[in-house]
Amino acid sequence: MRSATVLLIPFMITSIIGCTNRTESTTEESIKPKTDIKIVARPFAWPMNQDHLPTRGGTSKGAPVSLSPSPSPEWTVLVAMPAGIERDRAAIKAMAGNYRTAFDFQEVVGFRPGYQLSAPYFSWATERVFVIEDTPTKIVLQHQLVMRFDGHPGAMVVKHWRQDWTWEDGHMLRYLGHAQWEREQLPLEAVKGCWTQIVYGVGDEPRYSSVGKWQHDLQVSSWTGNQHWRPRPRREKSIRKDYDVLEGHHRITITPDGWTLWQDNRKVVVSETGVVQLDGRIAGEIGFERYQRLDHFDWNPGITAWEDEKERWAAVRDTWKEVLTERVRLSGEETVGVSLLEAVANEAPDSGPKEVREAVVKPKTTSESPGK
């Protein structure tokens, strides 16, 4: 059984700025490449009184890929459908496919005097999204990274995030800060005509939930979720300790060649009692993820890995259902997902769900309220 490692190896997007002296000469010497080239990030809305910062991330290069013809068959079918629940379902399932993916995050505003915006973040992936459950009122999409690097044989396979979509479902999973979660039941009138999206991490640990309506405007299908809290994201957990919660909302839009995920986030400090003080919101960021369909890419390592592990992941999902009842405080919030991932990936191929359930590191539950 292969051992999966949670890795997302990013690369830097840059602009090359040459500081050259202009002359009227067109000699060979004058057209030689200049050596005083400076590579800087060009982030959106960077303050004029703050220096540009290099984009945070690595410099790896993916293997060459081929884009699918646009528009995709999924998009063509979607735009021809009348608005309603069936078009909603088609929009959700249109997110399934094989993609080149880009993740962009940039702080654009500080809410504290003198706050210095942090460096922007960019990473890439080749990612497959596939349906693992499909009923008239529920669709579950599983993400998986199948990463190939230029000049290197083989592929790195990593189970990625999961999104559960349910129709007119008021069962929300609210993040309260400091590894605390709570179940919440919204009234039927609050979710009439809406889809609830619950997002889970690499180990099927909870991340956030949101509710909203799909809007179909001629050829454009978009879903915008309501404001929610989520834990500090993995991309910042090792470098930022000055905030606790990412507060925001997001919009998914289906495009002719894939889909996009736009985020409007605030970085928030939350007390142990779940209270945000007057100066608790420290900065705002914009995130944008692009999913563009690929052709002629070998996804077989990922397909094989999922076939090997899918029963064990079903057992992990069942374990989380047991744990996430009313209120829960996770033990090691930022590592529990990785622990679950490793528990499944490192099990012997012939072990069954029972063995996996015993290997899972169960979070510790508590009946205490946030104010106690």
In whole angstroms, what is the distance from residue 107 CA to residue 266 CA? 9
The reply to whether 23 falls in a domain is no
* Tally of CA atoms within 13 A in the half-sphere of 335 that contains its CB: 4
Distance CA 276, CA 358 (A): 38
**pLDDT for res 134:** 98
Can you tell me the distance from the alpha carbon of 45 to that of 326, in angstroms, rounded to the nearest whole number?
42
Give me the pLDDT at residue 327, please: 66
- Measure the CA–CA gap between 158 and 152, rounded to whole angstroms: 17
pTM for the complete prediction?
Answer: 0.83
Going from the C-alpha of 3 to that of each of 145, 348, 356, 360, the distances in angstroms are 14, 10, 15, 16
Other CB atoms within 10 Å distance of the CB of residue 142: 21
Q: Please state the φ and ψ torsions of residue 250, each to the nearest 5 degrees.
A: -145, 165
The pLDDT tens digits along the chain (372 residues) read: 343 433 333 333 333 222 323 333 333 333 344 445 444 455 565 666 777 777 777 567 888 999 999 999 999 999 999 999 999 999 999 999 999 999 999 998 999 999 998 888 888 899 999 999 999 999 999 999 999 988 888 899 999 999 999 999 999 989 988 888 888 899 999 999 999 999 999 888 889 999 999 999 999 999 999 999 999 988 888 788 899 999 999 999 999 999 999 999 999 999 988 899 999 999 999 999 999 999 999 999 999 999 999 988 998 888 888 878 766 766 556 566 666 777 776 665 455 566 666 666 665 554 443 333
- The pLDDT of residue 18: 29
Instruction: Note whether residue 348 is domain-resident.
Output: no
Element (H, E) at 74: helix 73-79
Number of domain units in the chain: 1
For residues 244 and 268, is the Cβ–Cβ distance under 8 A?
yes
* Domain assignment present for 234: yes
Question: Which residues constitute the domain of residue 212?
Answer: 63-300
Residues contacting residue 293 through CB under 8 Å, at least 6 positions apart: 67, 68, 70, 72, 97, 98, 99, 257, 258
Helix 300-323 vs helix 336-345: angle between axes, to the nearest 10 degrees?
130
The whole-number pLDDT of residue 334 equals: 58
Residue 350 lies in a domain: no
- Which residues in 210-244 are b (16+ Cβ under 10 Å) and which e? bbbebebeeeebbbebeebbbbbbebbeeeeeebb
Q: How many CB atoms lie within 10 A of CB 351?
A: 15
């692009």: which residue's tokens? 290
Is the bond leading into 71 cis (omega within 30 degrees of zero)?
yes
179 in any annotated domain: yes
What pLDDT shows up at residue 55? 77
